[in-house]
Every structure is written in C-alpha cells, then in structure tokens.
C-alpha cells in the first residue's frame, strides 16, 4: 500500500511492495505481511509500555484494507449511504456505488486493490467454518492458488484461521502439493486447531502402522509404533518358527502359555491400531506445527523463498522413509531370532 512505501515488515524484515497484503496490529499499528502474521504482533512485548508504531497512519490503512475485503452490497462505497434502486457494481471487485457517486468520482474506490484477489475462487461459506465450501475448482493447483490468494477466514471475526500459530501458506508449503492428501490434511488440521477436536478417522493410518507414519516422516511416533508392533507380534512369530523348525529353543516354551500370550497380544495390537486410526491425524498435526515453528525460528534471518523451500523439503511425505521402516523391522526380526534360535 502507498502508506507503507519504503517500510519493512516487522516479522520478516522485507520491504513492502504495492501489491503486498498487509496485516496491522490493532494495539500498536505495527505492519506485517499477512502471510507472516502468526496471531501475535512482533512488538507484543512492548504493548504494555505504550509502544506506538504509528496508530494514526495504521488506522487509516487498516480502514482501507477492511473496506476492500468484503464488498458491502447494501451501502455505497463512496458516500456510505444505503443503496437504492440506482446502483452499479464494479465488474472487478463487486463494490456497490450509487450511479451518481460513480459519475462524480469516475472510478471504483477500491481500484487500488484490483488484481490482488482471485474472485473465481471462494473458499468459505457465509455461515460457519464447518460449512465452508469450495467453488469453481477445476484442478488441484486451483485449490492451492485459491488458498494462497484467499485464506480461509473465521466467519465471526473475519481473521485468517491459523493452525496453532502456523499460517495457511506455511501449512500448504509444508504438506507439499500431494494431490490426494494435502487438501484433506489441510482442512483437518484447521478444524482440529480451531475447534479443539482431537479425533479424526484415518483407516489406513491404523491398518498400515507403522509404515504409514514413516511415509509421513513422523520418525519418533513411527519408531515407537514399530517397536510396539514388533513386540506384540513376537509370540505369533515364535509360534510359526516353532512349528516350522521344532527347535529345542522353541519347544521349551509351553504351548498353552504361548497361545494365551498370542491371544492377549493380538487384542492389545488391535486396540493400538484403533487408537492410531483415530488419533494419527492429531499427532501428525502437532508434529507438523512443531516442525514448522522450528524451521521458522531457524530461517528467521533468511529470505522468504529459502524458508518456504525448507518447509517443502522437510514436510513432504516420502516413500523412501517407508522403505527405511520396513528395513528396520527386518533388522529387528533378524537380531531377535538370531538370539532365540
């Protein structure tokens, strides 16, 4: 915006351009890129000292942004009087104006914002977040483009929804452009973060554990599940080896005790699978948020492009991690059976 020419974002330090979407702290007037806004002002620690970036300038700029955000069809954007039967609407942004007001002014009052938004992509309904909808989507790239240009907003406050301090742009970059999984996880993460919901059924996360978690690069949870999976499956594996080899080491184990252990462990394994199916997405969300916040701190002195490249590199799922999980499982099996038999 014109008011912030030669000024810099208080979060990333980059100078504002005319086409930047700017968020402004209502307490002290500090401006930041909307993509950099994480729910807290960079100068929040100074608020109780009376810190004032430039409230007068910020208030005027904030008013212009707010006026341009959602065109009011019931009020003329020029004279601010109620609409009547002689109204016209800007073909670019839909701003309502009295015909006489437009004739006197000669242009749309929001002309400086034209080209900033992509009207053909609308992501939120007018009632609640839960009934948000996607309109006129032709491809996966359209979804990504729409979210980046028009982030999903809270229907009550009008603020961009975040995921525990992580912006939607950061979340998309971290999840990667996975055509099937990214839209699902993106919406699931936002719902969980903004509704305190912790369960979401993910059938494959439970059925294919721990290799599904390795694919998502959740190394810590994946290794824990791998060890549990191996321990719980050990009685059944020993039983199969006992039948196949009939070695002294295997036959020394009482068949009745082994059968009871197999039954108990199978029920425990099933319970863990069910819990994983319901809580995997929440764990994945918390893990992703922690990774993103860590990278934000690590790359705070780097350029935005370097930061987002690092997000994509650190978060996108990889099949190679699944192969690592399978290899670890094989190694564990070989080590244990080497000592048993």
Look up the pTM and report it.
0.56
Q: Summarize the confidence of residues 126-145 as an average pLDDT.
A: 45
- Residue-wise pLDDT for 211-262, tens only, equals 999 999 999 999 999 999 888 888 877 777 777 666 554 455 445 567 788 8
Q: Are residues 6 and 46 in the same domain?
A: yes
Residue 94: phi and psi, rounded to 5, are 85, 5
Give 160's DSSP letter. Answer: B
Bond prior to 210 in cis (omega within 30° of 0): yes
Q: Are residues 4 and 90 in the same domain?
A: no
Q: Are 137 and 274 in contact (CB under 8 A)?
A: no
Q: Are residues 229 and 254 in the same domain?
A: yes
Q: In the predicted model, is pLDDT for residue 133 greater than 50? A: no
CB 304: neighbour CB atoms within 10 A?
16
At 137 the pLDDT is 40
Indicate whether 267 belongs to any domain: yes
Q: Are residues 250 and 265 in the same domain?
A: yes
Q: Are residues 232 and 331 in the same domain?
A: yes
Indicate whether 305 belongs to any domain: yes
The CA distance from 304 to 167, in Å, is 14
At 143 the pLDDT is 63
At 36 the pLDDT is 75
Q: Are residues 138 and 232 in the same domain?
A: no
Bond prior to 269 in cis (omega within 30° of 0): no
**292 vs 157, which has greater pLDDT?**
292
Q: Are 47 and 41 in contact (CB under 8 A)?
A: yes
Q: Are residues 38 and 16 in the same domain?
A: yes
Q: Are residues 77 and 134 in the same domain?
A: no
Residue 5, both tokens: 């020419």
Helices 219-245 + 319-340 axis angle, to 10: 40
With a CB cutoff of 8 Å and minimum separation 6, the contacts of 121 are 135, 136, 137, 142, 145, 146, 149, 150
Q: In the predicted model, is pLDDT for residue 4 greater than 70? A: no
Q: Are residues 295 and 257 in the same domain?
A: yes
Coil, strand or helix at 245: helix
Q: Are residues 92 and 134 in the same domain?
A: no
Indicate whether 158 belongs to any domain: no
Which of 103-112, 159-168, 240-249 has the lowest average pLDDT? 240-249
Q: Are residues 65 and 91 in the same domain?
A: no
Angle at 36 between CA 30 and CA 40, to 5 degrees: 55
The total number of structural domains that make up the chain: 4
CATH of the domain at 89: 3.30.40
Indicate whether 176 belongs to any domain: no
Indicate whether 170 belongs to any domain: no
End-to-end CA distance of the chain: 74
**282 vs 246, which has greater pLDDT?**
282
- Residue-wise pLDDT for 86-105, tens only, equals 777 776 667 788 888 888 88
Q: Are residues 228 and 282 in the same domain?
A: yes
Indicate whether 198 belongs to any domain: no
Indicate whether 53 belongs to any domain: yes
Indicate whether 255 belongs to any domain: yes
Determine the structural domain holding residue 43 and report its residue range.
Answer: 1-69
HSE-CB for 193 with a 13 A CA cutoff: 23
Q: Are 22 and 32 in contact (CB under 8 A)?
A: yes
């Amino acid at each position: 915006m014109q008011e912030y020419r030669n000024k810099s974002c208080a979060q990333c330090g980059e100078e504002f351009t005319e086409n930047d979407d700017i968020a402004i702290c209502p307490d002290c007037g500090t401006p930041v890129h909307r993509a950099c806004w994480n729910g807290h002002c960079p100068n929040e620690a100074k608020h109780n000292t009376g810190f004032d970036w430039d409230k007068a300038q910020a208030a005027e700029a904030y008013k212009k942004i707010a006026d341009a955000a959602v065109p009011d069809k019931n009020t003329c954007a020029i004279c601010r009087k109620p609409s009547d039967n002689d109204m016209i609407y800007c073909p670019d942004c839909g701003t309502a104006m009295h015909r006489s007001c437009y004739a006197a002014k000669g242009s749309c009052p929001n002309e400086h914002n034209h080209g900033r938004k992509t009207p053909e992509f609308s992501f939120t309904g007018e009632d609640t977040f839960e009934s948000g909808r996607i309109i006129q989507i032709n491809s996966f790239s359209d979804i990504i483009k729409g979210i980046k240009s028009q982030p999903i907003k809270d229907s009550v406050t009008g603020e961009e929804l975040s995921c525990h301090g992580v912006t939607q742009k950061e979340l998309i970059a971290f999840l990667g452009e996975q055509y099937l999984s990214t839209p699902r996880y993106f919406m699931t993460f936002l719902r969980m973060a903004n509704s305190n919901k912790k369960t979401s059924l993910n059938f494959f996360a439970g059925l294919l554990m721990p290799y599904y978690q390795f694919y998502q690069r959740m190394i810590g949870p994946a290794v824990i599940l791998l060890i549990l999976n191996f321990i719980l499956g050990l009685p059944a594996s020993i039983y199969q080896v006992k039948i196949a080899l009939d070695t002294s080491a295997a036959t020394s184990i009482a068949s009745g005790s082994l059968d009871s252990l197999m039954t108990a462990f199978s029920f425990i394994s099933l319970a863990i699978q069910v819990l994983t199916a319901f809580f995997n997405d929440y764990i994945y969300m918390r893990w992703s948020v922690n990774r993103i916040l860590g990278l934000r701190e690590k790359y705070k002195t780097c350029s935005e492009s370097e930061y987002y490249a690092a997000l994509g590199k650190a978060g996108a799922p990889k099949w190679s991690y699944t192969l690592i999980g399978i290899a670890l499982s094989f190694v564990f099996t070989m080590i244990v059976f080497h000592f048993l038999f």
